Amino acid sequence: MAVTIKDIYPICTAPEGIPLVIVKVVTSEPGLYGIGCATYTQRWITVANAVTNYMKPLLVGKDVTRIEDIWQMSMVSAYWRNGPVLNNAISGVDEALWDIKGKMANMPVYDLLGGKVREAARVYRHADGRTLEEVGDRVQAFMEDGVQVVRIQHGGYGGNAYQQALESMRPEGACAGAYYDPLGYQLSVTKLFEYIRNRFGFNVELCHDVHEHLDPIEAVRLAKELEPYRLFFYEDSLAPEQIEWFEIMRKQTHTPIAMGELFNNPREITPLIANKLIDFIRCHVSQIGGITPAKKLASFCEAFSVRTAWHGPGDTSPVGHAADIHLDVSSWNFGIQEWAGFKQASLDVFPGCPELKKGYVYPNDKPGLGIDIDEELAKKFPCSEKLPTWTNCRRPDGTLNRP
């Protein structure tokens, strides 16, 4: 007799102050359930409503083993598809179904995906600071912990360490927002890389995230200026709306290029992969719909020598991180895993978190995703409905910019 979906519901919690959405899929088999990540931090209420009001009525009674069919049906059920809200809701269910399938088979998800090709996933960490010395001290601390790759920023995305100088540049009546100066930002980045290389040499690999803050031609210029510092990769230098500029960038620089965290559907990034215009795929696994499309995307990338570097910031839940690691250790063309790390509250709410040791994250060998959620403890960390401010990004004259 088939095991079917009995219930689906969202669990919203914020152990570290960041709203997370976890989807729990309960089956007809007593005690058998799965969990998945549906975290879209800036619109978490909408995702939770989509899970409750649309995914549950659609899927209750369905055979839990039919993951591919459920994914395809969920994607087309609303007719219009590939939006971030829908994709995150689908992702939460998809990851939960893989978790269930692993438990039914008594196997970790990485074994269901073909088995390990490595024991752990190499990670990169984030080093930021208000001064060059602060960034350098952070890099040094990571190196002492065994981290081999570090992303360096100077005062956040767009170099927000220079807020005081920006005050005098604004016109009267300028709107509130997260202001930054494109030229000041570019100059600060080259100074930062010069300082870090002078201090540490090439004993650590370095990344940088532009986060769409520059005009395309300036992003190309900065990529060329950073060439002497041999970046591991140059991240999100352009917005998804500007992907035709990647061909120009590729012809102008040999700096490795990473892109993809804002894409909703793998097909959006197909031209960049097939035309060999990027080196790392940076998709957010819950943004594209879960493990099912992510594994297909990784296989597609392999044919074009593009490596995976799944998005893994603080607004990816520990469940989402676990899903990433299962993909990482089972994908031959894995490149690097972004890793924000967990505070104790998250470790308590999510028993079974992947473990970081000397720059590598290890999955456990428990069946499924190997991670769980303490629902009662999760309730002690309610989500806030406060809208983000950093996404209201503006240039010195007040013009709204991609965040």
Q: At 154, which CATH number?
A: 3.20.20.120
Closest to 20 in 3D by CA, of 345, 398, 389: 345
Residue 162 lies in a domain: yes
Residue 181 lies in a domain: yes
Q: What is the rounded distance in angstroms from the CA atom of residue 38 to the CA atom of residue 362?
A: 22
pLDDT of 158 reads: 82
Q: What is the rounded distance in angstroms from the CA atom of residue 334 to the CA atom of residue 281?
A: 10
Q: What is the rounded distance in angstroms from the CA atom of residue 340 to the CA atom of residue 237?
A: 21
Q: What is the rounded distance in angstroms from the CA atom of residue 234 to the CA atom of residue 222?
A: 10
Q: What is the rounded distance in angstroms from the CA atom of residue 373 to the CA atom of residue 8?
A: 15
Eight-state DSSP code of residue 206? E
Element spanning 36, H or E: strand 33-37
pLDDT of 25 reads: 98
The catalytic position among 154, 211, 284, 321 is 211
Q: Is 260 left (phi over 0), alpha (psi -120 to 50) or beta?
A: left
Closest to 319 in 3D by CA, of 293, 291, 296: 291
Q: Tell me, yes or no, if the pTM score tops 0.75.
A: yes
Residue 211 lies in a domain: yes
Q: Within 13 A of 344's CA, how many CA atoms are on the CB side? A: 0
Tokens of 312: 């893994």
Range of the domain at 315: 112-365
The catalytic position among 110, 124, 157, 360 is 157
- Note if 211 is an active site residue: yes
Residue 165 lies in a domain: yes
Q: What is the rounded distance in angstroms from the CA atom of residue 349 to the CA atom of residue 243?
A: 39
Residue 73 lies in a domain: no
pLDDT of 163 reads: 56
- Domain count of the chain? 1
Residue 188 lies in a domain: yes
Residues 6+ apart with CB under 8 A from 33: 24, 25, 26, 27, 96, 100
Low-confidence ranges of the chain (pLDDT < 50): 164
